[in-house]
Amino acid sequence: MSNHVIETLRADQALVVVRASRIDDPVALGHALAAGGIRTVELTYTTPGLTDLLAQVSGRVDADAIVVGAGTVLSADQARAALAAGARFLVTPGLPPEAAEIVAEGHAAGAAVVLGALTPTEVLTATALGADAVKIFPARAVGPRYFSDLRGPYPEVALIPSGGVDEDNAAEFLRAGAIAVTAGTSVVQPADVDEARWEQITTNAARFRAALR
């Protein structure tokens, strides 16, 4: 399963991290994003009731149509809870003390694990721990050229920028060597989620995907 997640990311070249105070209909949200061409959706532990949201999506949608995972994972307990609820990938914002356990839990469940990093040393640590991909956060602090630099010593590492990626710079990150980019509020505004403006979210997702070409 972990390979399928990475393959989907490489194919779509994008995933969306959703940060909202509440998500009343995560299934409709997932379909809205998929309709715009982004199938990989990261719901985070900063949203209340994450495990219930994951269970709703994983239990009601085609696994190939929408790939849902858990973000802001900081502990092995959170990893286990998310996986039990149906998360197909786990994402950390950095390298938490329990990073090794998070990777082990994810791989035991067949899920992909994306560990967060920023410095070259952290990228090396993440790969040594077995991360399927490494999230460079905050990407706005380093810019696309940094990814070109990282490709020198780490040509095989799957890098994903997160934080500050938008339609204006997303394609630059891909050209610099990222396998996919992380979209945030440029695609999913919390207000659009609150008001169930699914068509707007689909439009935003399609516009973001078009900017990657």
Q: Does residue 156 have an active-site annotation?
A: no
Q: Which of 42, 98, 122, 156 is catalytic?
A: 42
CA angle 39, 62, 40 (to 5 degrees): 15
Asked, as a colleague might, if the bond just before 155 is cis with ω within 30 of 0, I would say no
Task: Tell me the one-letter amino acid at 106.
Answer: G
Query: Residue 157 carries which DSSP code?
Result: -
Encode 160-191: b = buried (16+ Cβ within 10 Å), e = exposed. bbbbbbebebbebbbebbbbbbbbbbbbbbee
Burial class of residue 69, CB neighbours in 10 A (0-12, 13-18, 19+):
buried
Catalytically annotated residue among 7, 98, 105, 135: 135
Q: Can 167 be counted among the known catalytic residues? A: no
196 close to 25: Cβ distance less than 8 angstroms: yes
Contact indicator for 73, 102 with CB cutoff of 8 Å: yes
Residues with catalytic annotation? 42, 135
